[in-house]
């Protein structure tokens, strides 16, 4: 690959890259590489980024294939420049046993365009299943929901959270948390429904930032007691962010993620007549939060970005009131474009973009150093973009099954030019060139704790 501006952990440089057997073999100052043995990619005038890892997607299969499946979800992913997805367990059945994880990977085999990993649901109904899932290399991390959301998923009380985190930590696994406190939400919903509220704002009021703060604080307390590394999914409020910083100051290994909709949208962006598309958990908040969250990402306080791709069919987004409407929307194909737009606007450095979309998720979930950076020996995963091209976001041009997006109509950096996975050009100029079936499960190594002084914990390590 010649001619591009290549974003490595040391900075953006004019480099040519040689790839063999799916790995980077040479990074060389421009113009010094010999002739290619096989294919050559011309990246003149383009930026070459480490392959984007989206650590939070819901691909719905098995159980909700009408909303998305492994073929359509990974097709959308590679169209959006994503080379690896990490998939959430709230399918039907939820990914809570080794048998189900194996069955889910079998559904992806032969149909996935990009590499993929699964999260295991920490389910008190299946306390002994995490160990075989990890031993058999079926999952990259664990997931817990502290409050109600899409799917028939058990939510954990503090005892369940402590037990689950202790098990996960003993297995060298980071646990992702949907950190909205269940009892807070259930009480809020009951009171608002009794008061006859049916509007989008009522959804926000039922899920105040205090529910998020409490969820993060419960997580921090359980992580401190068990020594477990944890990951806060989709931080949505400045109060939640402050709770993350307090947990870290207390010695907890807590990574955090920012979804594009929480970084760039607020309630006031939602049209009065089309508000249902803006329903998501945790909710969009007032306009004071997004710039501060983006600033925290730019400074490295929030580690990584994610799409929280959560597609629902249009019918599910219509209903007589906000309570009966589905939460979530498509995002995997748009997340990179939206954050790259902040890069071109000068609000996020390209260096931080690469860290937040590749290095940070790779390190947090044990994919590093094989994935997450452009370096000799790593998987040759690349996202190639033209930062000078712009195009409006239009759901009709997206490639999933349910493509509605609250970003409809926004100007953004144009879709990526190419997606390269383990040396193969999977997408170029909007055409699929390799696959389906090229994507394969990622290999995970146990993660290293991020904090220098480990807290003493209950986790049995073996
Ligand atoms: O809005 C959401 N949708 N939040 C979640 O936590 C789950 C997701 C989904 O699966 O639909
Ligand atoms: Zn969530
Ligand atoms: Zn989610």
Rounded to the nearest 10 degrees, how much is the dihedral formed by the CA atoms of 67, 232, 422, 416?
A: 70
**Residue 58, ligand 1, Cβ within 6 A:** yes
CA-based nearest residue to 161, from 458, 455, 363: 458
Distance 120 CA to ligand 1 centre (A): 16
Place of tokens 């003993």: 170
Please state, in angstroms and as integers, the Cα–Cα distance from residue 400 to each residue in 118, 265, 322, 395, 408, following that order.
Answer: 19, 22, 24, 9, 15
For residue 363, the surrounding DSSP H or E stretch is helix 360-364
What's residue 456's pLDDT?
A: 58
Provide the percentage of residues in the chain whose pLDDT is more than 70: 97
Distance 233 CA to ligand 2 centre (A): 6
Distant-in-sequence, close-in-space partners of 345: CB < 8 Å, separation ≥ 6 = none
Is residue 135 classed exposed, middle or buried when 0-12, 13-18 and 19+ CB atoms within 10 A define those classes? exposed
What's residue 458's pLDDT?
A: 62
How far apart (Å, rounded) are the C-alpha atoms in residues 114 and 311?
A: 18
Alpha-helical (H) ranges within 123-173 are 130-135, 158-170
Q: What is the DSSP letter of 39?
A: -
Distance 282 CA to ligand 1 centre (A): 8
How far apart (Å, rounded) are the C-alpha atoms in residues 107 and 70?
A: 7
Q: How confident is the model at residue 451 (pLDDT cuts 50, 70, 90)?
A: low
Distance 99 CA to ligand 1 centre (A): 24
Each residue of 420-440: pLDDT tens digit? Answer: 999 999 999 999 999 999 999
Q: How confident is the model at residue 450 (pLDDT cuts 50, 70, 90)?
A: low
Looking at ligand 1, which atom is closest to the CA of residue 328?
1
Distance 412 CA to ligand 3 centre (A): 23
Average pLDDT, the chain: 95
Q: How confident is the model at residue 200 (pLDDT cuts 50, 70, 90)?
A: confident
Mutate to test the pocket of ligand 1, among 94, 151, 155, 310 (most ligand atoms within 8 A of CB): 310
CA-based nearest residue to 174, from 304, 296, 285, 263: 304
Distance 86 CA to ligand 2 centre (A): 13
Distance 176 CA to ligand 2 centre (A): 9
Looking at ligand 1, which atom is closest to the CA of residue 151?
10
**Residue 207, ligand 1, Cβ within 6 A:** no
Determine which of 124-133, 297-306, 452-461 has the lowest per-residue pLDDT on average: 452-461
**Residue 144, ligand 1, Cβ within 6 A:** no
**In the predicted model, what is the mean pLDDT of residues 32-50?**
92
Q: Are 57 and 394 in contact (CB under 8 A)?
A: no
Looking at ligand 1, which atom is closest to the CA of residue 233?
6
Looking at ligand 1, which atom is closest to the CA of residue 312?
11
Q: Beta strand 115-121 with 47-50: parallel, antiparallel or unpaired?
A: unpaired
Each residue of 94-146: pLDDT tens digit? Answer: 999 999 999 999 999 999 999 999 999 999 999 899 999 999 999 999 999 99
Residue 460: pLDDT above 60? no
What's residue 459's pLDDT?
A: 62
Other C-beta atoms within 10 Å of 461: how many? 10
pTM: 0.97
What's residue 446's pLDDT?
A: 79
What's residue 319's pLDDT?
A: 84
Residue nearest to atom 7 of ligand 1 (CA): 150
Residue 74: pLDDT above 90? yes
Strand partners, 161: none
Each residue of 353-400: pLDDT tens digit? Answer: 999 999 999 999 999 999 999 999 999 999 999 999 999 999 999 999
Provide the percentage of residues in the chain whose pLDDT is more than 90: 87
Determine which of 151-160, 262-271, 441-450 has the lowest per-residue pLDDT on average: 441-450
What's residue 7's pLDDT?
A: 97
Q: What angle do CA 48, 53, 59 make, to 5 degrees?
A: 135
What's residue 148's pLDDT?
A: 86
**Residue 372, ligand 1, Cβ within 6 A:** no
Please state, in angstroms and as integers, the Cα–Cα distance from residue 449 to each residue in 172, 178, 251, 383, following that order.
Answer: 9, 21, 11, 28
- Three-class SS of residue 332? coil
Residues present in the chain in total: 462
What's residue 162's pLDDT?
A: 96
Residue nearest to atom 3 of ligand 1 (CA): 328
Distance 149 CA to ligand 1 centre (A): 6
Residue 257: pLDDT above 50? yes
Ordered domains of the chain (ranges, CATH)? 51-371+387-413 (3.20.20.140)
Mutate to test the pocket of ligand 1, among 149, 283, 405, 406 (most ligand atoms within 8 A of CB): 149
**Residue 150, ligand 1, Cβ within 6 A:** yes
What's residue 276's pLDDT?
A: 86
Beta strands in 66-220, from DSSP E residues, in sequence order? 82-87, 115-121, 141-145, 175-178
């Amino acid at each position: 690959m010649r001619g591009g501006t290549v974003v490595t952990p040391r900075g953006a440089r004019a480099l040519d890259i040689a790839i063999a057997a799916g790995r980077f073999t040479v990074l060389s100052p421009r113009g010094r590489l010999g002739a290619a043995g096989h294919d050559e990619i011309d990246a003149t005038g383009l930026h070459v980024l480490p392959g984007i890892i989206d650590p939070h997607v819901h691909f719905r299969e098995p159980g909700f294939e009408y909303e998305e499946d492994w073929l359509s979800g990974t097709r959308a992913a590679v169209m959006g420049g994503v080379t690896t997805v990490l998939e959430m367990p709230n399918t039907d059945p939820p990914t809570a046993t080794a048998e189900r994880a194996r069955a889910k990977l079998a559904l992806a085999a032969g149909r996935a365009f990009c590499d993929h990993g699964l999260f295991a649901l920490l389910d008190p109904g299946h306390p002994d299943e995490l160990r075989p899932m990890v031993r058999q290399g079926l999952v990259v991390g664990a997931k817990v929901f502290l409050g109600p959301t899409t799917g028939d998923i058990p939510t954990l009380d503090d005892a369940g959270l402590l037990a689950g985190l202790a098990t996960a930590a003993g297995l060298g696994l980071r646990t992702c948390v949907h950190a909205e406190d269940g009892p807070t939400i259930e009480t809020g919903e009951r009171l608002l429904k009794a008061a006859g509220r049916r509007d989008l704002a009522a959804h926000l009021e039922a899920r105040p930032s205090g529910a998020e703060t409490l969820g993060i604080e419960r997580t921090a307390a359980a992580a401190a007691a068990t020594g477990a590394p944890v990951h806060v999914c989709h931080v949505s409020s400045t109060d939640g962010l402050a709770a993350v910083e307090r947990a870290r100051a207390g010695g907890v290994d807590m990574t955090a993620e920012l979804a594009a909709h929480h970084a760039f949208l607020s309630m006031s962006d939602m049209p009065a007549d089309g508000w249902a598309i803006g329903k998501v958990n945790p909710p969009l908040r007032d306009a004071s939060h997004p710039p501060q969250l983006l600033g925290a990402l730019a400074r490295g306080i929030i580690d990584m970005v994610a799409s929280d791709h959560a597609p629902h069919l249009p019918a599910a987004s219509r209903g007589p009131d906000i309570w009966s409407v589905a939460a979530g929307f498509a995002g995997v194909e748009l997340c990179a474009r939206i954050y790259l737009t902040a890069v071109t606007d000068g609000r996020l450095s390209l260096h931080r973009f690469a860290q937040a979309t590749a290095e940070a998720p790779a390190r947090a979930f044990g994919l590093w150093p094989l994935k997450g950076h452009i370096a000799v020996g790593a998987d040759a995963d690349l996202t190639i973009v033209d930062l000078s091209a712009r195009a409006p976001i239009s759901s009709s041009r997206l490639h999933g099954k349910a493509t509605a997006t609250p970003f409809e109509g926004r100007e953004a950096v144009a879709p990526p030019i190419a997606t390269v996975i383990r040396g193969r050009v999977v997408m170029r100029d909007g055409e699929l060139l390799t696959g389906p079936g090229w994507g394969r499960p990622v290999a995970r190594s146990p993660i290293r704790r991020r904090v220098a002084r480990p807290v003493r914990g209950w986790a049995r390590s073996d």
